[in-house]
Amino acid sequence: MNYSFFVRIFCIALACFIGWISPLHGKESAALKGRILDTQGQAVQGAEVYAYRSNKVKGPADYISNRTGADGIFTLVLPPGKYWVLGVFRKSGAKFGPLITGDKHSGEPIPMNVKAGQETERNFTVMDLREAARQIDKKSEELFKITGKILDKHGQPLPMAYAMAHLQPQLGTIPRYLSRWTDDTGRYILYVPRGTLFLGAALTFPVKNDYFLKNRIDVQGDMQEMDIIVMLEKK
């Protein structure tokens, strides 16, 4: 008998004692219930919910729900506490390993607190991994793109300039919306919200507070070819 055998006996004995006084013993568990759906709102059969005790979701899940039936309903009974939870559908039926083509999941794990004796309802939408990529559009719907060139007085593109937009024509502060420095093409992209703005460009940052933005624009959607002429020579 080696050292590890005695360690194991001790662990078992300790666990028996802990089992006797376990917080679960005689106390209510928590339950998480809901449905697993696809992006069309249809139930996904054969999916599961994984719950982790920490946000380190690289290893096997601490708790796994039943596999959903045709109705997509899952139930997960677990001790009360905080978990990080996600929905997963594995085409192969495996329980381990990175997701592969054909699998679906609900994205980043969602932190949830589940309380003793309570049933928490939560649905999960699992996404086909390929479709998700083609639909990615991360621009806020509240913002529009204004594009164009920054030019000198001879119509030549100005590098190391930037576009700016503000709610008033006269700057008393650093403009609200700024583009990055232009390159040799003089092209800029400015992200702005809907509404009336005043547009201009500068060659130095920060620009002086008494700078005057000449171009008034009414932004109702994306705007192209909004060239800005700076009355300076290109050096």
Partner 1 sequence: MPLIFLTFLVLLLIPCQSIAEVLTNDTVWQGEVDMKEDILVPAGVTLTISPHTVVRVWPSQSTKIDPEFISHRTEITVRGTLQIDGNSKGLATFQLGGENKGERWAGIVIDGGKVKSRYCTVEGAEAAFHVIGGSLELTHSRITDNRYGMIVQGKHGKVSLDTVAIQKNEYGVFLFNGADITRQQSEIARNSRKDIFESSAANNLPTPAPFTFTAADLTKVYGDESLPGETVWKGRVLIKGQVRIPLEGRLVIYPGTIVEFSKKDTNGDGIGENGLMIQGMFIAKGTPSQPILFRSAETQRKRGDWDAINILGSDAAQNLIEFCQVEDAYRGLHFHFSNIGVNHAILRNNYRGAQFQESLVEIRSSDFFDNISGIQARDSEVVFHGNRMVNNGHGASFFRLNLKAANNYFMRNRGDGLRIREGATVVEKNVMTGNRFGLIMADAVFGKVAGNIISQNLEGGASFRDTDNIEIQHNIIQANGLNGINLNNARSMITGNLISENGERGLGIIGFSGRITQNNIMDNGLYAIGLDDEKSDIDAAINWWGDSDLDKELFDRHDDQSLGKVIYEPQSKGPVPVAWSLPTINTDVSWSGSMRIADHVEVLPDAVLSIRPGTTLFFSPHAGMDIHGRILAEGTKEKRITFTSTNQQGASDWEEILLDRASGSRFVYCDFEYATWGIHSHFSDVTISYCRFRQNDGGIRFRSGPLEISHSLFSHNRIGLRAFRGTARIHDSIFTKNEIGIFVREQGDGLTINRNNIFANERYSIRLGDFNKEDVDARGNWWGGVSPLPTIFDGHQEEYIGKVMFEPYLNKQLKLAGGDSK
Q: Tell me how far, at minimum, the Cβ of 173 lies from partner 1, in Å.
A: 7
CB of 126 to partner 1, least distance (A): 14
Between 35 and 146, CB nearer to partner 1? 146
Site mask, partner 1, residues 203-222, x = CB under 8 A?
--xx----------------
Q: Applying CB under 8 A, does 235 fall inside the site for partner 1?
A: no
CA distances from 212 to 124, 169, 179 (A): 51, 6, 17
Query: Which residue number, 81 or 206, has a Cβ lying nearer to partner 1?
Result: 206
Other C-beta atoms lying within 10 Å of the C-beta of residue 137: 7
The residue type found at 111 is P
Distance of CA 69 to CAs 45, 47, 48, 66, 73, Å? Answer: 5, 8, 10, 9, 7
- Residue 154, interface with partner 1 (CB under 8 A)? no
Minimum Å distance from CB 166 to partner 1? 11
Rule CB under 8 A: is residue 98 a binding residue for partner 1?
yes
The least CB distance from residue 128 to partner 1, in Å, is 10
Q: How far is the CB of 68 from partner 1 (least distance, A)?
A: 19
CB of residue 188 to partner 1, shortest distance in Å: 11
Contact call for residue 177 and partner 1 (CB under 8 A): yes
Residues that bind partner 1 (CB under 8 A): 2-4, 7-8, 10-12, 15-16, 19-20, 22, 25, 56-61, 94-101, 107-108, 129-130, 132-134, 136-140, 142-143, 160, 162, 173-174, 176-181, 183, 189-193, 205-206
